[in-house]
Amino acid sequence: MSAIIYNVLREFFVEIHGHAVKARILSPISDENTFKFQISLYFKSKSDADANEPASTFTSYANAERHLLAYLEAFQNTLDLGGEVAEGSKF
């Protein structure tokens, strides 16, 4: 399996309930029509056993950014309602 090299297109740094959350939108150098995002922390609601890991591969930058911002908003809302933080991607 060959290594995949990504361009980091945009990074976000936010603080949610005292937790520093890093997120970034990436695109593989070999395929400029594919976009994905990574988040340093995930969230877990009280009723879920597993963390909410977002779908993260998209065919346009706008969709990737929209889904990332919606995920960060859901993260905030879940913690407002007593949810927990789970470990996400390491970067």
The full set of domain ranges for the chain reads 6-87
pLDDT score for 90: 72
DSSP type of residue 50? S
> Which strands form 57-58's sheet, in the order they lie side by side?
6-16, 19-28, 35-39, 57-58
> Six-digit token pair at 60?
């346009």
Q: Helical H runs in 1-91?
A: 61-80
- Block means of pLDDT (10 residues each) for the chain, length 91 residues? 90 94 94 91 81 83 93 93 85 66
- The pTM for the full model equals 0.84
Buried residues in 12-42 as b, exposed as e (16+ CB within 10 A): eeeebeeeebebbbbbeeeeeeebbbbbbbb
pLDDT score for 74: 93
